[in-house]
Amino acid sequence: MSSRGAALSLALFVALLLLCSAVVASAEPPSTSPDGYDSSLARSVRHATARYRLVVWARLDGYVQSTDYIPSFGTMYVNHERFNPASLEQPTVLIYDAAGRLTGCGYQFRTGDPVLAQLSRAASTGWYDIPSHVHYNIAIDGKLYYAQQPWHAADAPTRAALVERRLMPANATLRYAFFHPPTHAIVIWAWLPNPNGLSAAENPSLP
């Protein structure tokens, strides 16, 4: 065989090898890891929310802290302009660890409204319902408290209303209050593997 023919045969062999490798790779099943960290949904959420990796960036985009640190869950930040998010890039809730690093994203839709197509395929066990309530942050003697209580939309969560209902003491300063409508919600632990599952209620990877 001529040197030119040998080179051509080698080139064809390499091309065939690459083609077979691509076919085998495409035939590999998707990750079945119970934490779902490598799933297409988790990857999509990470790509969509990368700009919120640090809590300081979330604060600059309208997210307000609504809880203290919760063991096996983290600290929640809520953007009350983002119920019924139009895309994965607009989570209603961001969850951070004690160091202020993003661990999970929550998407909340007003009860009865449709959810995002990407999320409708998520495990049905991950969805839960949240009744109407009020988020309010108060300061007492310089210390900040984060609170939530049942509430009805007809009543504005003013300082006077909260004091009247004995939900805050008269000497407290109301820093923030917002009515949270009833919603259908899901959490996606896209930024921290969760051995309990991608949309489990708690994440034992957090202390």
3-state secondary structure 42-69: HHHHHHHHHHHCEHHHHHCCCCEECCCC
Q: Distance between CA atoms of 132 and 71, rounded to whole angstroms?
A: 24
Report which DSSP code applies to 8. Answer: H
What is the mean pLDDT, run by run of 10 residues, along the chain of 207 residues?
36 33 34 78 97 98 97 98 97 99 98 93 80 97 96 92 97 97 97 96 96
Residue with tokens 């969560």: 157
Q: Which of 59, 67, 56 is closest to 136 using CA atoms?
A: 67
pLDDT in tens, 42-90: 999 999 999 999 999 999 999 999 999 999 999 999 999 999 999 999 9
Mean pLDDT of the chain: 86
Name the residue type at position 111.
T
pLDDT in tens, 29-53: 344 567 899 999 999 999 999 999 9
Answer whether 94's CB lies under 8 Å from 59's CB: no
